[in-house]
Amino acid sequence: MTNRRRFLAGLAAASLAPMRGWSAVGAPDYLAAALFPDGTYRLAGIDAGGDILFSLPLPARGHAAAAHPHHAQAVAFARRPGTFAIIIDCATGTQTALLEAPKDRHFYGHGVFSTDGTRLFTTENNYETGEGVIGVWDTDSYARLGEFASGGVGPHDMRLMPDGRTLVVANGGIETHPETGRTKLNLPVMQPRLSYLDQNGRVLEQVELPQALHKNSIRHLAVRSDSLVGFAMQWQGDTSQHPPLLGLHRRGENPRLLSAPDAYQSTLQGYAGSIAFSGDGETVAITCPRGNALHRFRVADGQLDGIFPYEDVCGLGTAPNGFVFTTGTGVIGNVTTSKTRISARLDCQWDNHLIPIRATA
């Protein structure tokens, strides 16, 4: 705790540096958190070929990150139920600001910038009421501007829709509290929900799963350029059941749930880690680290299109010719139309996610 306090105090004292574009740090394609051999947790910028372009220290285990749309700036989030997020100037390696969750709040590990980069939205838990909230932060000062309801309980992932105005939130339905760590407090009555909100918090549309699947927590999201939303789920129910772990939704329609044949689905232990659409948008994939497999499906008909076995595979991102993935064993690889290829085997343990960087400068 003393080391963490010293680290955070250093962040608070750091001076702001002029921000440069992502090209200043080699134009990385993705951000990913990892544990390195020296015992440090770091946030890395990597390219699709598997090269680490930079790595910056974190005070504790990271989960996901958010990439600023214009500047080489990232927000690294603590793993749920963490209460801190770090603002990093990736061009200089300087930690320029620290976000601390307000009283009675904790972060859920994800966030997203507005299209113009002036605001940051963070998924949070009001753990005294058990309700999900979206925090709103000014990105010049990283002062908190306010918050609004997430549209459900346990908001985890959140994405900005292609219209640049709408937020889609994966309300996983699971209530937690910092005093009980990662213990899930409401499984008998949980109700996951996909919520579409404007950036003032107005609910535009909400989607719930059938009651028989109310223990299928909606956790992670991917959005195709035509606004089709993919969502990955984690089953909290009877382990003898093997429900779908992948869904697709278009606003105004019912969700489509996709599943492999039971002989394969039963090996996944009810857990999907990450989700992404392929570069051409024709396929969607989920990673299943507990089942040591990546499952790919055709979007058009929802049919399983490939199973790719990799130990502890979890991070997943879109690539021009398919997907990029990372594993807890240090692998960075590619899945293309017909094959997989390992790009690098690094001496680190990649954490859950690959966060794409859509650089405009």
Question: What pLDDT, in 10s, does the model give residues 80-104?
Answer: 777 889 998 888 777 889 999 999 9
- Determine phi and psi for 39, rounding to 5 degrees: 90, 0
Query: Nearest to residue 255, comparing CAs of 225, 311, 188, 210?
Result: 210
Provide mean pLDDT across the span 276-298.
97
Residues linked to residue 232 through DSSP beta bridges, in sequence order: 220, 246
Strands (DSSP E) contained in 264-338 are 275-277, 283-288, 293-298, 304-309, 313-319, 322-327, 331-335
**Do the beta carbons of residue 48 and residue 31 sit within 8 Å?**
no
Written as six digits, the tokens of 216 are 């299928």
Q: Domain span at residue 29?
A: 1-100
Token pair 């990105």 in the structure block, residue: 139
**Is residue 270 within 8 Å of residue 239, measured between CB atoms?**
yes
Average pLDDT over residues 226-238: 97
Is residue 298 scored above 60 in pLDDT? yes
For tokens 């429900």, the residue is 243
- Give the chain's length: 361
With respect to residue 82, please indicate whether it lies within any of the assigned structural domains. yes
Q: What percent of the chain has pLDDT over 90?
A: 69
Using pLDDT thresholds of 50, 70 and 90, give the confidence band for residue 54.
confident
- What is the pLDDT of the chain when averaged over all its residues? 89
Q: Which residues contact 43 (CB under 8 A, 6 or more apart)?
A: 31, 32, 33, 55, 56, 58, 62, 65, 74, 76, 88
pLDDT at 19 (0 to 100):
56
* 160 bridge partner residues: 167
Look up residue 109 and give its amino acid. G
Over 50: is that where the pLDDT of 77 sits?
Answer: yes
Is 12 within a domain? yes
Q: Which helix (H) or strand (E) holds 9?
A: helix 2-13
Please indicate, yes or no, if residue 21 is contained in any of the structural domains. Answer: yes
Instruction: Indicate whether 267 belongs to any domain.
Output: no
CA–CA separation, 235 and 206 (whole Å): 20
| pLDDT at position 33 over 50 | yes
Interatomic CA distance for residues 323 and 228, integer angstroms: 17
The answer to pTM > 0.75 is yes
Domain count of the chain?
1
Using the predicted structure, report yes or no on whether residue 127 has a pLDDT greater than 90. Answer: no
39 is a domain residue:
yes
Residue 34 lies in a domain: yes
Q: Is residue 130 part of a domain?
A: no
Of 239, 255, 141, 236, nearest in space to 196 by CA: 255
Rg of the chain in Å (alpha carbons): 19
- C-alpha–C-alpha distance, residues 99 and 223, integer Å: 27
Q: How confident is the model at residue 26 (pLDDT cuts 50, 70, 90)?
A: low
Q: How confident is the model at residue 346 (pLDDT cuts 50, 70, 90)?
A: very high
Mean pLDDT, residues 305-309 taken together: 96
Cα 213 from Cα 191, distance rounded (Å): 9
Identity of the amino acid at 213: L
Residue 201 carries which side chain, given as an amino acid letter? G
In a domain, 59, yes or no: yes
